[in-house]
């Protein structure tokens, strides 16, 4: 079982809907990440939170809005998404920053935009 | 090499056979090289974080080597089993922060 929990596992929404993806970890990790993964492509980094502060935004459109309410939780708020936003959204966490820390991933949320 | 590249894209191996595949990466400003295993319908799992030229790491029947001067890493699977079927991703931090650049992966299918 993964130690990073993502909900929901699947989400279908219309372009006018507002929904949120949730991610939770209880490993005491201080860095949390959102990735987007399209079929047969590598995961692409969207956001990084370090010590509950947004440290990296990879020029993600504003229709994606991240939130880190506390050190264990990471949300991704979705509004007015486009069909091309359909993808697998992965959450990950790591013990800290730096290059030697492996990332621990959740199972992902499969998002479909109608 | 400007990006992280993996080859082959996919491979099929008979149960019991050994196999290996490659991750190529920019050798300048090297910090580390990560390997992950991603089984279908599961989450990516960290296998190794490699940092030193000549490093060799092992986890069960899976091992990896690192050549930072020429910019490549090999992952080996010895005596492949059906449970080794997965996509194997390598990733490289491109700076001294949290950002990982992933390769597209090598999908291994072990046939019984």
pLDDT digits (tens, 9 = 90+) for A7-16: 999 999 999 8
Nearest C-alpha of chain A: how many angstroms from B42? 5
pLDDT tier for residue B1 given thresholds of 50, 70 and 90: low
In chain A, the residue whose alpha carbon lies closest to the alpha carbon of B31 is A99
Q: How much is the pLDDT for B59?
A: 96
- Tell me whether residues B44 and A98 touch, CB distance under 8 A: no
Q: How much is the pLDDT for A12?
A: 96
Q: Which residues contact A38 (CB under 8 A, 6 or more apart)?
A: A87, A88
Which residue in A31, A41, A43 is closest to B98 by CB distance? A31
Summarised one tens digit per residue, pLDDT across range A56-99 is 999 999 999 999 999 999 999 999 999 999 999 999 999 977 78
Nearest C-alpha of chain B: how many angstroms from A79? 25
Interface of B with A in 3-62 (CB under 8 A): 4, 31-32, 34, 36, 41-46, 49, 51
Backbone angle region of A40, left / alpha / beta, with phi > 0 → left and psi within -120 to 50 → alpha: left
pLDDT tier for residue A35 given thresholds of 50, 70 and 90: very high
The answer to whether the beta carbons of residues A13 and A64 sit under 8 Å apart is no
Judged against a pLDDT cut of 90, whether residue B41 lies above it is answered with no
Tokens read off for B17: 């056979």
- Tell me whether residues A108 and B43 touch, CB distance under 8 A: yes
Q: Is B111 on the interface with A (CB under 8 A)?
A: no
Which residue in B43, B45, B104 is closest to A41 by CB distance? B104
Distances in Å between the alpha carbon of B55 and those of A26, B26, B33, B76? 31, 17, 11, 14
Q: What phi and psi values does residue A84 have, to the nearest 5 degrees?
A: -70, -5
**Placement of tokens 């490659």 in the chain:** B22
In chain B, the residue whose alpha carbon lies closest to the alpha carbon of A46 is B99
Q: How far apart are CA A73 and CA A94, in angstroms?
A: 13
| Chain A residues with CB-CB distance to B41 below 8 A | 107
- Tell me whether residues A42 and B103 touch, CB distance under 8 A: yes
Q: How far apart are CA A82 and CA A16, in angstroms?
A: 9
Tokens read off for A50: 């370090």
Q: Which residues contact A62 (CB under 8 A, 6 or more apart)?
A: none
């Amino acid at each position: 079982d993964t130690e990073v929990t993502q909900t929901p596992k699947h989400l279908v929404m219309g372009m006018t809907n507002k929904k949120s993806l949730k991610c939770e970890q209880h490993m005491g990790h201080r860095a949390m990440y959102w990735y987007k993964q399209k079929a047969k492509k590598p995961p692409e980094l969207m956001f990084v939170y370090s010590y509950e502060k947004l440290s990296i935004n990879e020029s993600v459109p504003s229709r994606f809005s991240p939130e880190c309410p506390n050190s264990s939780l990471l949300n991704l708020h979705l509004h007015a998404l486009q069909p091309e936003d359909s993808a697998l959204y992965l959450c990950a966490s790591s013990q800290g920053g730096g290059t030697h820390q492996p990332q621990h991933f959740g199972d992902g949320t499969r998002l479909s935009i109608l | 090499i400007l990006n992280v590249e993996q080859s082959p894209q996919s491979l099929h191996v008979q149960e019991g056979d050994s196999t290996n595949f490659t991750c190529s990466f920019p050798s300048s400003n090297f910090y580390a090289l990560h390997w992950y295993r991603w089984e279908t319908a599961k989450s990516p799992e960290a296998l190794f974080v490699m940092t030193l030229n000549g490093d060799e790491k092992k986890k069960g029947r899976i091992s990896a080597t690192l050549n930072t001067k020429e910019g490549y890493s090999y992952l080996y699977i010895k005596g492949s089993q059906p449970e080794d079927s997965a996509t194997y991703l390598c990733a490289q931090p491109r700076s001294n922060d949290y950002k990982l650049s992933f390769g597209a992966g090598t999908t291994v299918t072990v046939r019984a």
